[in-house]
A and B are shown apart, each in its own frame.
Chain A
Amino acid sequence: MTAHADIPAVRPRARISSRYLPYILSLPALLVCIGILVPFVTAIYYSLQRYRMSQPWNRGMNWGENYLNFLSDSSFWHTLQVSLVYAFLTVGIELLLGLGIALLLQKRSKVNNFVSIMLLMPLMTAPALAALMFKLMTNSNFGILSYFMQVLGFPDFRWGASPSTALFTVVLVDVWVYTPFIMILLLAGLRSLPTQPFEAAALDGVPRLEQFWRITLPMLTPYVLTAALFRLLDSIQQFDIIYAMTQGGPGNTLMVFQVEAYLNFFQSTNVGRSTALLLILWAITYILSNIFVKHWLRLRERARGEA
């Protein structure tokens, strides 16, 4: 017990270090992030300005005018519409496909595990590069997919180059990249479900289809919701795939929020409109992310509890 002698000296240091330690540990990470928060505030400021980089003399506060203009701006409504259609279309298709594949792979077996590992590959491909891959495959001269369409009797199927099929093309790429994400989440969910209800249902002779609707789906709902919200958050902000595939074209067919804002900023140098657009997108994602975080936290609690 030699420690006794230096207790008085130890005492003040001990209290300070244990109280401030967590702040000291997290401070560097916070500082880096503050550097990121500053531009966010700047964006709000810009969005309240008449600000074109090409017309510096004309710059000034116009308060909510950028936002008010949107009300009568048909291209804004088009952007909102395309973004929502894109988001709900991709997430809807991916949910159905992902759930179907997860059910196919539910049983643990060598083949199923191998397939689920294979399906990681599209998810790990950079979305921009995935878009390029599809661009090569849909090239009208040599693209294998164009050839398939020709064989199927659609010689004029022009994929990303035609306004009528551009949306289909980018949705296809999105589905290719992100369906595995939903599949993986739902598969993990399916495999973590308790087995007793299913055993009981099997004993009672409940048909398999009814088991799915009455037991599997309700128990899987939290996972489906979390996966859907997570994807919706990403999908409504999609940039990489659309920009790499068509840069929002042809014409303005695929002008989703971020692509429109990017082009506004760099091509028409309209900083005010561009940042106002992004803030509206931010508001949408903020609401979505709050709902998401609630569901996600609940699932996370559960996952930690089981571990």
Chain B
Amino acid sequence: MEHQSTLERWLRGIALSLVVLFFMFPIFWILLMSLQTNETILRSPPSMVFTPTLNNYAAIIAGRLDSNVATMSIEFMRNLMNSFILSAASVAVSLLLGVPAAYAFARHKFRGSEDIAFTLLSFRFAPPLLVLLPLTLYFQELGLANTYFGLIWVYQLICLPLILWIVRGYFEDISPDIEHAYRIAGHGWFATFRKIALPLAGPGIAAAGLLAFIFAWNNFVFALVLASADKQPVTVGALAFVTASGIQYGQIAAAIVLSITPTLALALWAQRYLVEGLSLGAVKG
């Protein structure tokens, strides 16, 4: 590869530019839209020359949308809050449940452990509606419909398999001798778990948690089926937003930007671990 011809370098450069253009353009364009008024958005031909305005963001954050017809209130900030609550709480519960289980699966090859681990993994691949639709009926009866509790429970379907399988891999990477050494030195299994296994798997647990947070945040169908307006996260909220009449396009764009920024920021921050997490450890990042 050392001796590339000039032509080849050019072709590579062009191909790379096209790739970046294709994958970055939508985000870039929506960001531009979010900074424009309806008038500049509706110009034809579209132009990148305009006076940027933060009015769209101000309106969304204030929760009041002024259209040319009337003033209406939209609680998009509430959706954003819901997304935070649902994702953070789900990941916290998943870590609490999943990390000890992952440790058990990694360290103790007990009877049926592989089967159980695979059953949990299979949740990741089953059609979510298959579980969600009957669950709506149960939730009505149990009074769990449209509660954070019920939603967080169902969100375990997304977070738990992810955390279990990624963290299990990290625990397996710790040499059992290191734990044996600590126990032989006179410490009980729980002290060993806390002082040796947890710190050593720490980066992996953090990465799994972040990834689970991103997936929970990006989820759409769970909340669509199980949550009403006041518990809906941004994914569902934004859709309702689009179909609401009289909304300005710049404000939709601003809402989308606000909705995707947290996950993109987290992803950039944790990108080192992302590869391994995405493939459940099948490919090392």
Contacts and interface: CB of A to CB of B under 8 A. Distances in A.
User: A contacts B directly in the complex (CB < 8 Å)?
Assistant: yes
Interface of A: 17-18, 21-23, 25-26, 28-30, 32-33, 35-36, 38-40, 42-43, 46, 100-101, 104-105, 107, 111, 115, 117-130, 132-137, 139, 141-142, 144, 147, 176, 179-181, 184-185, 188-189, 192, 223, 226, 230, 233, 237, 239-240, 243-244, 257-258, 261-262, 265, 271, 274-275, 278-279, 281-282, 285-286, 288-289, 292-293, 296, 299-300, 303-304, 306-307
Most buried by B among A118, A126, A279, A292: A126
B25 to A, nearest CB: 8
B30 A136 contact: yes
A142 B46 contact: yes
Contacts of B143: none
A189 B284 CA distance: 9
Given A25-B103, A135-B242, A307-B173, A115 B271 contact: no
17 contacts: A21-B104, A26-B105, A28-B96, A28-B100, A29-B101, A36-B154, A39-B132, A39-B135, A40-B130, A104-B15, A121-B24, A126-B217, A185-B275, A262-B133, A282-B127, A286-B122, A303-B282
A144 B25 CA distance: 11
Given A115-B16, A115-B19, A181 B252 contact: no
A189 to B, nearest CB: 6
Contacts of B218: 124-129
A126 B97 contact: no
A18 B98 CA distance: 20
A261 B104 contact: no
Contacts of A185: 275, 278-279, 282-283
B285 A188 contact: yes
A231 to B, nearest CB: 11
Nearest to B38: A142
Interface of B: 1, 12, 15-16, 19-20, 22-24, 26-27, 29-30, 33, 41-46, 96-98, 100-101, 103-105, 107-108, 110, 113, 116, 118-123, 125-135, 137-138, 153-154, 156-157, 160, 164, 169, 172-173, 189, 214, 217-221, 224-225, 234-236, 238-239, 242, 249, 252-253, 256, 259-260, 263-264, 266-268, 271, 274-276, 278-285
Given A226-B279, A303-B283, A278 B97 contact: no
Given A115-B20, A124-B264, A136-B249, A226 B282 contact: yes
B19 A176 contact: no
Of A17, A18, A188, chain B has the most CB atoms within 10 Å of the CB of: A188
Nearest to B267: A124
Contact of A181 (B118, B278, B282): B278
Contacts of A144: 29, 46
SS class, residues of chain A in contact with chain B: helix
Contacts of B189: 17-18, 21
Nearest to B133: A265
A180 B110 CA distance: 38
Contacts of B282: 185, 226, 296, 299-300, 303
A214 to B, nearest CB: 17
A279 B138 CA distance: 19
Contacts of A275: 130, 133-134
B235 to A, nearest CB: 5
A278 B133 contact: yes
Contact of B104 (A26, A124, A147, A244): A26
A101 B219 CA distance: 27
A123 B26 CA distance: 13
A281 B130 contact: yes
A106 to B, nearest CB: 9
